[in-house]
Amino acid sequence: MKFVDEFRDPELGAAVSAEILAAVDPGRHYKLMEVCGGHTHSIYKYGIDDLLPDQVELVHGPGCPVCVIPMGRVDDGIAIAQNSEVILTCFGDMMRIPGSNGTFTDAKAAGADVRMVYSPLDALRIAKQNPDRVVVFFAIGFETTAPSTALTLRRAKAEGVENFLCICNHVTIVPPLRALLESPDLRLDGFIGPGHVSTIVGVRPFEFIPADYGRPLVTAGFEPLDILYAIQMILAQLAEGRCEVENQYKRVVPYEGNQAALEVLSEVFELRPHFEWRGLGFISQSALRLSDAYADFDAELRYSVPNVRVADPKACQCGEVLKGVIKPWECKVFGTACTPEHAIGTCMVSPEGACAAYYNYGRYARERPQAAETLA
């Protein structure tokens, strides 16, 4: 398939790996954060970690929307689902994210009508098929997913569908990155920028990272060669004393983003004053809610929700993992009490979560195999 096979070529991978090795200063340690959970997944799936010299450390960022959702929001969704007229719809991974009294799957087992959907459009279809029920879509995701919700709400409004509501948990990527850069816990040398978020917002919103914090960022695609090229580009910037935003994923990402998407986002949503992020706490203007023009579709205005902040389980260290302070296997319960089958923390539930990705693909193997072997 175009743009897939050529970005999984093992020979090219070995060549870029050699370029990375050549760009590394042997006396320096490089800490690079991949912002996006999709990158974390690709890194483990293709063994990219094993193609890098020891001096280059990849740190996993907060870019998995399922992983950063706090338990209180799950409780709010379950409270809405418990209304007898409601059909709660959500993406697959949300079904197993624990709230303080269980998951959406548990709520479904207890009698609530909770259904998994592939897209907001599917949720709207369920609403049209069930005019005597109220279909609530539990919306999550970064700027990649938010336009899909926005377009569906615009469609519902245009078609006069009155039994379709949304509980909006969409978040934005720039505020948590700024919070991470302000954090004293973490010293980073550069960022692998989120590819598909950038398809929507463009590359320009990330210019503050080199300008204000002196760190390079390279927006990257999700194939193994995309990620290797991005690492090579960051290291080249550091070696040459440059510090700027570059776009490795030009085949998909326009520098200025997608104007149609930005327009529908500003029509349907507005920024929340603050929003709680798992592991990162409350961050100002980091999430979206429905605008006044779409207030009739806001499930939080229609139904009462607990809206309570719930502390994470004490044993769980998802917060430190999400901030990149510890590696997944350094968590006390990783692979023992917390596994994908019986997850305590969100990072183990979502395949994009660092813990699940490491558990599924890396598990306990700590030794690095010979470079280039794992790409094929």
Partner 1 sequence: MTDPGGCADAHCITCGDVAEPMRVLKIDAVRALALCEDAGGSHQSIEIALVAPVEPGDELLVHAGTAIACTERRALAEAEVVG
| Token pair belonging to 327 | 């590696």
Return the half-sphere exposure (C-beta side, CA atoms, 13 A cut-off) of residue 103: 18
| Token pair belonging to 134 | 């109220």
Q: Is 161 in the site for partner 1 (CB under 8 A)?
A: no
Q: Shortest Cβ distance from residue 56 to partner 1 (Å)?
A: 22
| Token pair belonging to 93 | 């991974």
Q: Which is nearer to partner 1, 14 or 252 (CB)?
A: 252
Q: Which of 70, 77, 147, 345 binds partner 1 (CB under 8 A)?
A: 147
Q: Shortest Cβ distance from residue 119 to partner 1 (Å)?
A: 2
Closest CA to 120 of 184, 60, 170: 170
Q: Which of 24, 32, 56, 66 binds partner 1 (CB under 8 A)?
A: 66
Q: Which of 65, 190, 202, 345 binds partner 1 (CB under 8 A)?
A: 65
With contacts defined by CB under 8 A, name the span among 46-54, 103-111, 146-154, 309-317 that binds partner 1.
Answer: 146-154
Q: Give, as one character, the DSSP assignment of residue 98.
A: -
Instruction: Map 117-145 to HEC letters.
Output: CCCHHHHHHHHHHCCCCEEEEEEEECCCC
Q: Which is nearer to partner 1, 212 or 256 (CB)?
A: 256
Q: Which of 7, 30, 46, 91 binds partner 1 (CB under 8 A)?
A: 91
For 327-350, give the DSSP string: -GGGSTTBTTTB-STT-SSHHHHS
Q: Which of 17, 23, 33, 38 binds partner 1 (CB under 8 A)?
A: 38
**Other Cβ atoms within 10 Å of 304 Cβ, number:** 11
With contacts defined by CB under 8 A, name the span among 62-70, 237-245, 327-335, 367-375 that binds partner 1.
Answer: 62-70
Question: Angle between the 224-240 and 10-23 helix axes, to the nearest 10 degrees?
Answer: 20
- Residue 279's contacts (CB-CB under 8 Å, 6 or more residues apart) are 62, 68, 318, 319, 320, 321, 322, 323
Q: Which of 46, 191, 222, 275 binds partner 1 (CB under 8 A)?
A: 222
For 272-297, give the DSSP string: -SEEEETTTEEEET-BEEE-GGGGGG
Q: Which of 18, 151, 236, 333 binds partner 1 (CB under 8 A)?
A: 151
With contacts defined by CB under 8 A, name the span among 39-47, 128-136, 224-232, 324-332 that binds partner 1.
Answer: 39-47
Site track for partner 1 across 184-203, x = CB under 8 A: ----------xxxx-xx---
The torsion angle over the Cα atoms of residues 167, 113, 353 and 12, rounded to 10 degrees, is: -100
Q: Which of 33, 36, 80, 88 binds partner 1 (CB under 8 A)?
A: 36
Q: Is 342 in the site for partner 1 (CB under 8 A)?
A: no
Q: Shortest Cβ distance from residue 237 to partner 1 (Å)?
A: 23
Q: Is 279 in the site for partner 1 (CB under 8 A)?
A: no
For the purposes of burial, counting CB atoms within 10 Å of the CB of 185, is it exposed (0-12), middle (13-18) or buried (19 or more)?
Answer: exposed
Q: Shortest Cβ distance from residue 250 to partner 1 (Å)?
A: 11
What is the size of the binding site for partner 1 (CB under 8 A)? 52
Beta bridge partners of 162: none
Closest CA to 40 of 351, 368, 371, 335: 351
Q: Is 94 in the site for partner 1 (CB under 8 A)?
A: yes
Residue list 118-137, contact with partner 1 (CB under 8 A)? 118-122
Q: Is 288 in the site for partner 1 (CB under 8 A)?
A: no
Locate tokens 């986002």: which residue?
A: 265
Q: Is 73 in the site for partner 1 (CB under 8 A)?
A: no
By the criterion CB under 8 A, which residues form the site for partner 1? Answer: 1-4, 36-39, 41, 45, 63-66, 91-95, 116-122, 140-142, 144-145, 147-148, 151-152, 194-197, 199-200, 222, 251-252, 258, 260-261, 264, 350-352, 360
